[in-house]
Amino acid sequence: QSAVPEMQQSDEDLQAEVYRSPLVARYASPEMAANFGDRKKFTTWRRLWLWLAESQQQLGLAITDRQLAEMRSSLDLLDLRLAAEEERKRKHDVMAHVHAFAAQCPAAAAVIHLGATSAYVGDNTDLICLRDALDILLPRLAAAIAALSRFAGQHRSLACLGFTHLQPAQLTTVGKRACLWLADLLADLRNLSRCRADLRFRGVKGTTGTQASFLQLFDGDHDRVERLDKLVTAKAGFPATYIVTGQTYSRKVDSEVLLQLAGFGATAHKIATDLRLLASWKEIEEPFERDQIGSSAMPYKRNPMRLERVCGLARHVMALAQDALNTHSVQWMERTLDDSSNRRLSIPEAFLAADIVASTLGSVFDGLVVYPMVIQRHLKEELPFMATENILAAMVKAGGNRQECHEVIRQLSQQAAAQVKERGLDNDLIERIQASDYFAPIRDRLPELLDPATFVGRAPRQVDRFLAEEVAPALAPFTAALEKLTAVEQRV
């Protein structure tokens, strides 16, 4: 026998043996991961069975207080081992949990799942999880918007090069560009909030949505079946049910939600890409921690790893919308079951990825580093060309001929461009204009004509108005949630 003791495997070692989704193991928040976890799912099933039994008793079915008390006492006492054994035996996940719940509530066994179908617990739980996932995501998105709005206000007047076709264009400001990002994020906030407001409950509908089984339970009393539906819906915290369903609620609901998540993914990808380009030009960088390593081979590098993560996960969110569209398109008649396996993947993953995208954007926006001197240097390289319009107008006001002036500026501009492109030197167009006797009438005005502040138009005031009239009202409903989120982050 070996004298070397056998090594004990830690939980981490055991977990390393099998694949785990990085969305949970590496990225997503504990809240979002728990929202789509088995404990949330199966305890919600039990609550749905309790709410159904409570409502049925209230409407006159022979269900005792003892049976309800027994169910209440076992809501969170999951026996997942027993449920797994039942599922292996019965090949049906819902019935496995019916039997596991009944084993813990023998007196209530006869009334658990009474008149219901699997979709009663499955679909209603999915809707609860969709609702709760949006309630987790929306404040995080609002927090990212709030952080970016502070950045926009701080840099409302900092002139920088604008870009069209990714080529230098007329000047804008750092704050104004941030407002372009904010406008898209506000659209996502509106769209996701609308999805949240539009969500209804499937409620108590039966096997094909006709409520036939419940009509039999209540001896053909349509009024009590309607009341049953409303009672259970209210207990679940929804204001309304879908009046008509098949066996399931329409998968159009899933596609609408995932399409809006995909829209947010596209926005996040665009913003993160813009910031990655700006980081490449050394104008703006994401926060970089003191001990952070940018590259294993190149110690000097400060790679935008958070923004790269945003782009990678945002692409996944965008791709998952196609799953929901395809699933909705093939739900034959009252439903087919090929939706189940796909939805187990696409819905949780879309939210898990969107959740970390929102959180990561918020942390980036909250610590963006701006380098005004680099921005100024880039302005200096391009501003002479952009100033030619102002110089041309000033010469005409001083009595010059427009066409003649245009030709002189064109020739000098080409000479300066050759200095930059062919010889790698600085743009010396202004020096050439200053040295030209032709421009003597406006030589003293050149510093004024080259002031970057005169090239940004109304950008600073647009920032002020946008933040006041659009951003602030959009964030107002999230004030309490943002305060709570900030307090939690501070504790962490």
Question: Is 357:269 a contact under the CB 8 Å cutoff?
Answer: no
Dist. CA 317–CA 264, nearest whole Å: 9
> Which of 82, 114, 146 lies at the terminal end of a domain, its last residue?
114
Q: Which long-range contacts (CB under 8 A, 24 or more apart) does 38-41 make?
A: 38/80, 39/78, 40/129, 41/125, 41/129
Cα 44 from chain centroid (whole Å): 25
pLDDT value of position 299: 43
pLDDT value of position 6: 55
* 487 within domain boundaries: no
Once rounded to an integer, what is the mean pLDDT over residues 301-308? 84
Dist. CA 120–CA 204, nearest whole Å: 6
* 52 within domain boundaries: yes
**Where is 183: in which H helix or E strand?**
helix 174-198
Dist. CA 426–CA 428, nearest whole Å: 6
* pLDDT tens, position by position, 60-100: 999 999 999 999 999 999 888 888 888 888 888 899 999 99
21-53: b (≥16 Cβ within 10 Å) or e:
eebbeebbbeebbebbeeebbbbbbbbbbbbbb
157 among known catalytic residues:
no
Per mean pLDDT, which range of 19-23, 255-259, 272-276 is the poorest? 19-23
Question: What does the DSSP 8-state code read for residue 470?
Answer: I
* 428 within domain boundaries: yes
* 201 within domain boundaries: no
Once rounded to an integer, what is the mean pLDDT over residues 27-32? 89
Once rounded to an integer, what is the mean pLDDT over residues 472-486? 89
How many structural domains does the chain have? 2
> Which of 91, 114, 137 lies at the terminal end of a domain, its last residue?
114
Please determine, for residue 14, whether its predicted confidence score (pLDDT) is greater than 70.
Answer: no
pLDDT value of position 337: 85
Question: Is 455:383 a contact under the CB 8 Å cutoff?
Answer: yes
* 74 within domain boundaries: yes
Of 2, 10, 165, 296, which residue is the catalytic one?
165
Of 73, 295, 329, 341, which residue is the catalytic one?
295
- Higher-scoring residue by pLDDT: 24, 487: 24
* 93 within domain boundaries: yes
CATH number of the domain where residue 73 is located:
1.10.275.10
Amino acid at 334: E
Task: Write out the two tokens for 433.
Answer: 């204009």
Task: Write out the two tokens for 30.
Answer: 């504990």
Dist. CA 265–CA 463, nearest whole Å: 24
pLDDT value of position 13: 64
* 157 within domain boundaries: no
Number of other residues whose CB lies within 10 A of the CB of residue 94:
18
Question: Is 260:188 a contact under the CB 8 Å cutoff?
Answer: yes
* pTM for this prediction: 0.87
Domain holding 76, by residue range, is 37-114
CATH number of the domain where residue 432 is located:
1.10.40.30
Number of helices (H), then strands (E), in the chain: 22, 4
Nearest CA-CA partner of 364 in 296, 260, 274, 460: 274
10 among known catalytic residues:
no
> Which of 65, 91, 114 lies at the terminal end of a domain, its last residue?
114
166: left (phi over 0), alpha (psi -120 to 50) or beta: left
* 59 within domain boundaries: yes
In sequence order, the β-bridge partners of residue 285 are 369
